[in-house]
């Protein structure tokens, strides 16, 4: 696909600075560039590359002020990240529009498959499963008994969606994710062993949810583990039984959420963050990477950091002291020696 700067500005509701006729055919990173490519400057840490990039067009925010001459044509927009997201959709290779069931797939006669559904080789769809229209299921997917999948869903190779789970419209589930494995429930016995507690609930993904590769969302012990509309989960996340994640929350890779915790809407969770079980987290909460949340958070819209997590500003102040501990330790030792020396002189006097 080839687009001119003036055409891109119209698509992105932007303003051209430079040659409106210059044409691009693909996106590029600003530090790599290339003639005929379009890049963007969203993070000012990369500003130096703006003055050396060979990209033909660069997207910048409306309020950006260049400190040196820029050879590339600029397109100024309200929000660079929103603009690049829209732009990448334009350049994304489109999957074929073919539909139909591969002869190597196994679809139970009691399963229901909607119009224009694509099902790849060696996929298994069990009895009473329902698959909505325009859904694309790649090879080697397992869909259990009674699973309900909405329309316009994309399920990549190796995904397992186990019995009775529900997937809403326009969801994307990446390779090797497991939806509906048993929750981690065991009852300790008098002899020191553990008896498995049957996990008879399900997982519900509402609409426009995206689940990353190798992420696991466990079924509820009873009731449902619920992922609300618009939630985005990165790769390698563990969501335990009976967890509820509020709408439009985003969670980065390797985070773990223990059973029955409820995370409020529009929260942002950093990578490798961990949550204890049975917590309630207020909406709009921001948890920094590698933090450990051990108690409920009731105040909405606050940032937290550390293990156990405390408010971000308090953590930064505390860390400033922590970095000085070796110096402070030496100072305390010097003061202790001075006090002992003074005491000894007074005793002798």
Could you list the active site residues?
Answer: 241
Least Cα distance to 16 among 65, 63, 74, 71 occurs for 74
| C-alpha Rg value of the chain to the nearest Å | 27
Cα–Cα distance for residue pair 47/331, rounded to 1 Å: 43
Least Cα distance to 140 among 164, 112, 94, 176 occurs for 176
Peptide bond before residue 308 is cis, with ω within 30 degrees of 0:
yes
Q: Residue written as tokens 């489109």?
A: 94
């Amino acid at each position: 696909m080839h687009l001119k700067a003036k055409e891109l500005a119209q698509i992105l509701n932007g303003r051209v600075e430079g040659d409106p006729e210059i044409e691009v055919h693909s996106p590029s990173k600003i530090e790599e560039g290339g003639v005929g490519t379009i890049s963007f400057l969203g993070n000012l840490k990369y500003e130096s590359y703006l003055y050396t990039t060979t990209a033909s067009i660069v997207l910048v925010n409306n309020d950006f002020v260049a400190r040196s001459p820029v050879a590339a044509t600029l397109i100024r927009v309200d929000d660079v990240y929103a603009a690049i997201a829209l732009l990448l959709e334009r350049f994304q290779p489109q999957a074929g529009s073919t539909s139909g069931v591969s002869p190597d797939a196994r679809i139970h006669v009691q399963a229901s498959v909607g119009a224009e559904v694509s099902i790849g080789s060696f996929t298994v769809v069990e009895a009473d499963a329902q698959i909505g229209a325009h859904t694309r299921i790649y090879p080697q997917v397992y869909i259990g008994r009674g699973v309900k999948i909405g329309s316009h869903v994309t399920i990549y190779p190796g995904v397992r969606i186990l019995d009775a789970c529900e997937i809403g419209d326009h969801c994307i589930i990446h390779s090797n994710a497991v939806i509906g494995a048993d929750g981690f429930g065991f009852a300790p016995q008098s002899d020191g062993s553990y008896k498995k507690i049957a996990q008879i609930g399900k997982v519900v993904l509402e609409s426009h949810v995206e689940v990353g590769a190798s992420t696991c969302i466990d079924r509820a012990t009873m009731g449902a583990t619920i992922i609300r509309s618009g939630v985005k989960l990165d790769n390698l996340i563990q969501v335990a039984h009976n967890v509820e994640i509020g709408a439009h929350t985003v969670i980065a890779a390797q985070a773990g959420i223990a059973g029955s915790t409820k995370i409020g809407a529009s929260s942002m969770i950093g990578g490798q963050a961990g949550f204890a079980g049975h917590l309630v987290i207020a909406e709009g909460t921001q948890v920094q990477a590698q933090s450990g949340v051990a108690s409920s958070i009731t105040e909405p819209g606050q940032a937290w950091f550390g293990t156990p997590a405390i408010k971000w500003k308090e953590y930064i102040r505390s860390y400033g002291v922590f970095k000085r501990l070796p110096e402070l330790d030496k100072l305390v030792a010097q003061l202790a020696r001075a006090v002992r020396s003074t005491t000894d002189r007074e005793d002798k006097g």
